[in-house]
Structure 1
Amino acid sequence: MENDKEARKPHCLSFPLQGHVNPILQFSKRLQHKGRTRVTLVVTKFFLKTAQDFPAFSFPVETFSDGFDDGLDEKLEPEESYRRCWEVGSATLAQLLEKLSSSGCGVDWLIYDPFYPWALVVAKKFGLTAAMFFTQSNSVNSIYFHAHMGELKLPLSEAQVRISGRLPALKPE
């Protein structure tokens, strides 16, 4: 009976970028603690291979390849690294989803790092609900957005910077 009950729980994959494992791990623990969701943490093969004392958690850990299983190739241009991560990462995430589905552990939703935007493409292909997990405050994301849109000129030259919304005036530092 317990296995039937466990099988009916929605299954979530938490899918962080290497430097964002701890925040998404804490969030995943909270999701699972509520008892309504099964969580699987998905990390790169390189991360799992190099992480020291990566503790056993109360949920499974799976790996995928981002194309850099032996570490980042410093000789590649950033655009080439990004392209390789997109191609290899999306293919191996799809393979993982197929593997989990065929083993009876299908995934219902994906929480992914915004630095892996291709994860949303894969989630849509599999009909999954997906959500980005931001490891920074929304204020920082707002600053990035306004800089990207050209509303915040860099480098900063003003003594204070005002950004539309609810942020107070900010000092450049």
Structure 2
Amino acid sequence: MNNHHHHFFLICFPAQGHLNPTLQLANRLIDAGAAVTFTITVHGLRQLKTFPSLEGLFYASFSDGFDDGINPTNGPSNIIFEIKRINSQTLTDLIQRLSDEHRRVTSLIYSLTMQWAAEVSPQVGIPTAFFCVQSTVALAIIHRYFNSQDGVFESFGSEPPNSVQLQGLPPFASIELPSFLLPTSPYTSIIPSFKEHIRTLEKDPNPCVILNTFAALEGDAIKAVASMNPIALRPLIPSVLFNGKGGQSDASSFQCQLFESSFKDYLNWLNSKPDHLVAYVSFRSMVTIQESKRRKFCMEL
């Protein structure tokens, strides 16, 4: 560990769609010569079925007060309050312990819904950055909604907007917006978390956002969040998938899984189908689709 000049502390929300992009970010940092401590909640770490092994990669966990899982009877606002209250202290203690073990953390990178981690920065004296696993367009829309200068969220009330305008991009109709921002979403309880994300970045004198994209794909959206000092790292997928060159890991081994699965079973099923017959459609973990829309998707496919 002492051979590494930089030690990045990556704190990740324990959801499948967050884990692997954050691991790929860790891999990228390690390939550049840094050490990385990959950190999730105690309960999240217990749920993991696989742990990639890589020189320079370390794992740690912290208690968020829900080590046995979140009780569905707890209200969302109470859960968010408790997580923020407990996490700030436990995270500070963990970073200090690493320093005491001669593994001093030099930078903290937090993922979606983990914005409270940025509040630890002044206490431990290290810079922070936000790693956005969503598209940059989604981040730009969230910024348009909640920024303190001309945010539009409050003006919408309980009605979805007809459209949202971003500089340099065509207007986005309400159907094109991230669904959790709409009043009809069952996940409206997380809206305050996104607002806090933006306000946290605004309070930071040296904000930084790491984007899972590249300029040729989302150039205008990157410009729309220029005030956050974005860094576009190109898609954080295993390098072997797009250039045939693996670093210390390959596409099949360097990943985390929350669910029991067999990569071999998937390949056997795909290989049993005629060429060009299978269409793969993927939705994010928290998407909600009405039954009528599900049927329409199936008909179109």
| Same fold (TM > 0.5) | yes
**Pairwise CA RMSD:** 2.0
- Larger Cα-atom Rg: 2
**CA displacement at 1:139 relative to structure 2:** 1.2
Query: What are the within-5 Å matches in structure 2 for residues 77-96 of structure 1?
Result: 77-96=75-94
Of 64, 67, 74, 2:65 maps to: 67
**What SS does structure 2 have at the residue aligned with 1:123?**
helix
What corresponds to 2:50 in structure 1? 53
5+ residue gaps, structure 2: 176-301
Decide whether aligned partners of structure 1 residues 103 and 144 sit closer, same or farther in structure 2, where only a CA change above 3 A counts. Answer: same
How many Å apart are 1:114 and its aligned residue?
4.2
Amino-acid identity (%): 27
Q: Distance in 2 between matches of 1:43 and 1:119?
A: 12
1:169 aligned partner: 171
Structure 2 residue corresponding to 1:145, chosen from 143, 146, 169: 143
- Deviations along 1:51-73, one digit per CA (max 9) or x if unpaired, are 12233343111111111111112
CA gap 1:109/1:157 in 2 versus in 1, 3 angstroms? closer
CA distance in structure 2 between the aligned counterparts of 1:157 and 1:79, rounded to whole angstroms: 25
CA distance in 2: counterparts of 1:64 and 1:41, whole angstroms: 11
Most deviating of 39-48 and 148-157 = 148-157
Q: Deviations over 1:103-152 (max 9, x none)?
A: 11111110012412221111221000111111112211222233342268
Aligned partner (choices 32, 35, 44) of residue 34 of structure 1: 32
One-letter identity of the residue aligned with 2:6: P
- 8 Å CA contact 1:15, 1:113 repeated in 2: yes
- Contact 2:109–2:129 (8 Å) recurs in 1: yes
Contact map agreement 1:14 1:41 (CA 8 A) in 2: yes
Shift of 1:155: 4.3
Counterpart contact for 2:98–2:104, Cα < 8 Å: yes
Distance across 2 between alignment mates of 1:121 and 1:150:
26
User: What runs of 5+ residues in structure 1 fail to find an aligned partner?
Assistant: none
Q: Alignment partner of 1:18: what SS?
A: coil
Partner in structure 2 of residue 44 of structure 1: 41
TM-score by length of 1: 0.85
Equivalent-residue separation in structure 2 for 1:133 and 1:13 (angstroms): 12
SS at match of 2:129: strand
Pick from 13, 17, 33: which aligns with 1:17? 13
Report the Cα distance in structure 1 between the residues aligned to 2:25 and 2:116, rounded to whole angstroms.
21
Is the aligned partner of 1:100 residue 2:98? yes
Tell me the equivalent position of 1:132.
130
For residues 34 and 53 of structure 1, the distance between their equivalents in structure 2, rounded to whole angstroms, comes to 24
